[in-house]
Amino acid sequence: MNLPNIKDARIRTNNKINYMEAKNIKSDEFKGKKYFIRTYGCQMNVHDSEEIKGILENLGFNETDNLEQADIVVLNTCAIRENAHDKVFGFLGRLKHLKKENPNLIICIGGCMPQEESVANLLKEKYPFVNIVFGTHNISELGSLILEQKEKQQIEVYSIEGNVYEHMDYVRDSKITAWVNIMYGCDKFCTYCIVPFTRGRQRSRKMANILEEVKELKEKGYMEITLLGQNVNAYGKDLEEEVDFATLLENVAKLNIPRIRFVTSHPWDFTDEMINVIAKYDNIMPYIHLPLQSGSSKILKLMGRRYTKEEYINLYNKIKEHIKGVSITTDIIVGFPNETEEDFEETLDVVKKCQFDGAFTFIYSPREGTPASKIKDSISLKEKEERLYRLNEIINDYSLKHNKEYIGKTEEVLIIGTSEKGENKVCGYTKTMKLVNVSNAQSDIGKIIDVKITSAKSFSLDGEKVVFIKN
Ligand code: 5AD
Ligand code: SF4
């Protein structure tokens, strides 16, 4: 994508930009002031926000969840579908009013949206009250941008990826579960997807650095880590050292952190070695998110997904056969341009054959600059909505069916916090990532406990802590 509004480089080293000088800046300039952050989108953004929080706290800010009390507001945005944009622009309307009441309010927009040329231009022309606009490649610069804040709007977005940074001062949302980036960006260029443009080409972290971070997390008492990347099983393909995801996963497992999981996997890169490692280690959770996107081989080809319906089903069956009790979830897009009823029925057919534990389902959203957005589409939105509805009905039926299989069983549950269900309940996850609301376990937050499952809904289970009575 050509981004004329977006700068090309600062200091280039090996064709990458070096923003290093801006890392972990510390100052008490904003001591006593408050920040409000809102995060849109995927886990990658959630983790980026932990980095942003670290940057803000290094400048002296403290977090508030009360927008009216904030001295600085940061929106960490997502560009994956149009509705993600709409939410941000809706919120910006509210911020405009707030700024009238408090002209000193600093408004920052970062993340994936500003990486799009049209958005960067729009912010410049129509939203001059936004003080700082930054991209995914220069998050680490946010501290210096705030300190050097100018009278007029600052847009600092780069089209070229930055280096892979180590030792950032994250402020993590949880003391129990932690995200660990293993790679940034994506090289797959699925034809509908904006990620390779907003997050750049794949850059893996060195294995030694990842292992060091996991070791530190274990020492701090973290119970679960999630290895993060747009396509984790392509890990290492861009590195000089000969390392792949299976090797990394095995080395992480040997560090004995109680629970390890990873997101997201691309079926094309899923190797037998990975399956063997997951099956071999008890602390690797038997849970895999394996995006299908479509069940029609014709549409998969148009999507550039590199596998057919049959190849997906074969992989799915192989995983189920080798990893005991594994749960598999997926992502599905309905209404890719010119998807026919027959194509859609192929998707339903895969869903019926695989019987996923759960799925995130989306209506295709054309993204500017992607190859699929240039295809003229003859299918109406109404038809797409109907397909989504039909798909969700089936998906939810299977989720409920799988969840009901847990009733009466005793499961190990990592308790992560109080439950939204109230009634003094806590909640946590099974090894297979089923959400469980648990009664009589208020003092067990942060622990893995045995829970007897008593009832099941489509999206959660209920259970009671198993109390062993000593004779
Ligand atoms: N339209 C709809 N859904 C999309 N996704 C990615 N790009 C688009 C798009 N243009 C979905 C895919 C991906 C998930 C994170 O978002 O299913 O796996
Ligand atoms: Fe997007 Fe495809 Fe990369 Fe996933 S694998 S981030 S869908 S380009």
pTM (two decimals): 0.93
CA of 143 to the centre of ligand 1 (A): 31
Rounded to whole angstroms, how far apart are CA atoms 340 and 230?
Answer: 29
Rounded to whole angstroms, how far apart are CA atoms 441 and 461?
Answer: 15
Please report the pLDDT score of residue 21 as a whole number.
56
Residue 272: other Cβ atoms inside 10 A: 10
Indicate which atom in ligand 2 lies nearest the CA of residue 194: 1
Please report the pLDDT score of residue 441 as a whole number.
86
**Nearest-CA residue for atom 2 of ligand 1:** 364
Identify residue 243 by its one-letter amino acid code: V
> Quick one: which ligand is closest to 305's CA?
2
Tell me if 199 CB under 6 Å of ligand 1. no
Nearest in space to 161 (alpha carbons), one of 191, 202, 102, 133? 202
Structure confidence by residue, pLDDT tens digits, 143-171: 989 998 877 888 888 887 877 888 888 99
Indicate which atom in ligand 2 lies nearest the CA of residue 266: 5
Whether 314 has a pLDDT exceeding 70, the answer reads yes
Model confidence at 276, pLDDT cuts 50, 70, 90, reads very high
Tell me if 373 CB under 6 Å of ligand 1. no
Tell me if 333 CB under 6 Å of ligand 1. yes
CA of 301 to the centre of ligand 2 (A): 14
Which one has a higher pLDDT value, 24 or 380? Answer: 380
Inter-residue contact 41 to 77 (CB < 8 Å): yes
Tell me if 332 CB under 6 Å of ligand 2. no
Inter-residue contact 69 to 34 (CB < 8 Å): yes
- What mean pLDDT comes out for the span 89-107? 95
Inter-residue contact 397 to 348 (CB < 8 Å): no
Rounded to whole angstroms, how far apart are CA atoms 207 and 197?
Answer: 25
Rounded to whole angstroms, how far apart are CA atoms 194 and 214?
Answer: 30
Inter-residue contact 421 to 396 (CB < 8 Å): no
CA of 97 to the centre of ligand 2 (A): 37
Nearest in space to 159 (alpha carbons), one of 14, 15, 11, 6? 6
Tell me if 113 CB under 6 Å of ligand 2. no
Tell me if 389 CB under 6 Å of ligand 2. no
Whether 456 has a pLDDT exceeding 50, the answer reads yes
First to last CA, the chain: 70
CA of 188 to the centre of ligand 2 (A): 6
Rounded to whole angstroms, how far apart are CA atoms 229 and 244?
Answer: 13
CA of 185 to the centre of ligand 2 (A): 9
Indicate which atom in ligand 1 lies nearest the CA of residue 372: 10
Model confidence at 305, pLDDT cuts 50, 70, 90, reads very high
Which one has a higher pLDDT value, 15 or 157? Answer: 157
Q: Please state the three-class secondary structure of the chain as a single string.
A: CCCCCCECCCCEECCEECCHHHCCCCCCCCCCCEEEEEECCCHHHHHHHHHHHHHHHHCCCEECCCHHHCCEEEEEECCCCHHHHHHHHHHHHHHHHHHHHCCCCEEEEEECHHHCHHHHHHHHHHCCCCCEEECCCCHHHHHHHHHCCCCCCEEECECCCECCCCCCCCCCCCCCEEEEECEECCCCCCCCCCHHHHCCCCEECCHHHHHHHHHHHHHCCCCEEEEECCCHHHCCCCCCCCCCHHHHHHHHHCCCCCEEEEECCCHHHCCHHHHHHHHHCCCECCEEECCCECCCHHHHHHHCCCCCHHHHHHHHHHHHHHCCCCEEEEEEEECCCCCCHHHHHHHHHHHHHHCCCEEEEEECCCCCCCHHHHCCCCCCHHHHHHHHHHHHHHHHHHHHHHHHCCCCCEEEEEEEEECCCCCCCEEEECCCCCEEEEECCHHHCCCEEEEEEEEECCCCEEEEECCCCCC
- Structural domains of the chain, ranges and CATH numbers in brackets: 19-156 (3.40.50.12160), 177-404 (3.80.30.20), 410-465 (2.40.50.140)
Percent of the chain residues topping a pLDDT of 90: 83
CA quadruple 362, 368, 370, 373: dihedral positive or negative? positive
Indicate which atom in ligand 1 lies nearest the CA of residue 291: 18
